Amino acid sequence: AQTVTQSQPEMSVQEAETVTLSCTYDTSENNYYLFWYKQPPSRQMILVIRQEAYKQQNATENRFSVNFQKAAKSFSLKISDSQLGDTAMYFCAFMKQGSGAQKLVFGQGTRLTINP
C-alpha cells in the first residue's frame, strides 16, 4: 500500500516570500503520478500541479514548481512570490499509473497562511 506523509502541519510566511512545502511517499510502484491540491476555506479541492514519475524534469505552473526526487521519494512544492490568495490547506497526493482510473492517496495536509 502507498503512504503519503506531509511533516509540516502548519506554515506561515509573509506576502511575496517564497515557501516550500514538503511531501514524502512510500511505494513499490515504478509508474505513478504525484499531485499537489489546494483547498481554500471554500473547501473546493483545486489541482495545483502534477508530476509524472517517469519524467525527470520538474513540473512548473506559473509561480508553482516542484522538486521531485524519485530515489528519495520526495515531492516538495515551491510557491514563489506568495500571494494572500495562496492561503489554504495543501495536500500532496499519489496515484498509481495503470489501466483505468486509480484512487488518490492523500497526505495529512499542510495549512499555509500568507500574511500581509
Partner 1 sequence: SAVISQKPSRDICQRGTSLTIQCQVDSQVTMMFWYRQQPGQSLTLIATANQGSEATYESGFVIDKFPISRPNLTFSTLTVSNMSPEDSSIYLCSVWTVGKDEQYFGPGTRLTVT
- Does residue 50 belong to the site contacting partner 1 (CB under 8 A)? yes
With respect to partner 1, which residue has the nearer C-beta, 71 or 101? 101
- Does residue 95 belong to the site contacting partner 1 (CB under 8 A)? yes
With respect to partner 1, which residue has the nearer C-beta, 13 or 104? 104
Beta carbons within 8 Å of 91's beta carbon, 6+ residues apart: 6, 36, 37, 38, 39, 45, 106, 107, 109, 110
Q: How many CB atoms lie within 10 A of CB 33?
A: 16
Residue found by looking up cell 489541482 in the block: 47
Q: Which of 91, 94, 112, 114 binds partner 1 (CB under 8 A)?
A: 91
- Residue 29, Cα to own-chain centre: how many angstroms? 19
Site for partner 1 in 25-44 (CB under 8 A): 33, 35, 37, 42-44
Q: Which residues bind partner 1 (CB under 8 A)?
A: 33, 35, 37, 42-47, 50, 91, 95, 97, 100-101, 103-104, 106-109
